Amino acid sequence: MHSARWWCLLALASCAPPSLLRQGWSPVQDPALLLAAATREVAQLRDLKAAADLTLVQSGQRQYASAALLFKAPDLFRIEVRGPLFVHLFTALLRGDSLVVSDADGLWRGGPLSDEVLARLLGLELSGTDLRYTLLGLVAPGPLDSLVQAEPSRCLAYLGGMPARRLWLDTRHGLIAAEEVLNPAGGPALIRRLQNYQRVGGMYLPRRVELRQGEQTVIVEYRSWEINTGLSESTFTRGIPLDHLEPLE
């Protein structure tokens, strides 16, 4: 089943527009060097500000929204989501293992960060993966178990740890094209496709991040990025009554 899903993913991605070529990359290089380069880029990211369009696809129905995203290393993240006519849907602040969220009712709630709470916000089971990396199109570092050459310019990287992950490496362009996160509980895997890369301040960021799990799909299409501009912590907590939060249910 997993093999069939991966080959289907490979076929879909082969129809995507031509990718950016990583500077200094050669297709004959060891694919492990590609993983190392992506890890170095993540380590160099101090902060990020981005604007994106969101599309939620569920049972064939599409819903649209926009998002403003802020990130500050190592673990500060804010996302504000608005629907049509700029109607506020929710704002979420992640700081380490804690979450503060305000939905359409305007009531702020805070508590421990969990996959269950994130599933209610996104409709996706993240299986312990980091929401910050997942939405921004970054690839979290992890122990490399093995590399399998799928095609002349396609390589699968199997990463250990929990949860187990498989990465599809585009060794022609020197980019990471997709990730599959296995669900430890046996549920549907989370498949993430990374497309339309842009070079931003020395980093390679996907303009399109597609998250798919079962019949649910979330598409993030980035309009703009600003990186390493020195965002202050107050930018993330602006407008949030941190001393007057209701319990997060």
Which residue type sits at 12? L
- All residues at 6 or more sequence positions from 199 whose CB lies less than 8 Å from its CB, including other chains: 20, 23
Judge if the upstream peptide bond of residue 143 is cis by omega within 30 degrees of 0.
Answer: no
Distance CA 126, CA 59 (A): 20
In terms of DSSP H, where are the helices of the chain? 2-14, 31-44, 115-122, 131-136, 233-237
pLDDT (tens digit, 9 = 90+) per residue, 175-193?
999 999 998 888 899 999 9
In terms of Cα–Cα distance, which of 8, 44, 78, 65 is closest to 218?
65
- The parts of the chain modelled with pLDDT lower than 70 are 1-19
- All residues at 6 or more sequence positions from 138 whose CB lies less than 8 Å from its CB, including other chains: 42, 45, 132
Which residue type sits at 4? A
Q: Which domains does the chain have, with CATH numbers?
A: 26-229 (2.50.20.10)
* Token output for 27: 């297709």
- All residues at 6 or more sequence positions from 76 whose CB lies less than 8 Å from its CB, including other chains: 70, 94, 95, 233, 236
- pTM assigned to the model: 0.90
Query: pLDDT at position 57, please?
Result: 94
Query: pLDDT at position 1, please?
Result: 46
Q: Are 103 and 75 in contact (CB under 8 A)?
A: no
Query: pLDDT at position 68, please?
Result: 98
Query: pLDDT at position 14, please?
Result: 47
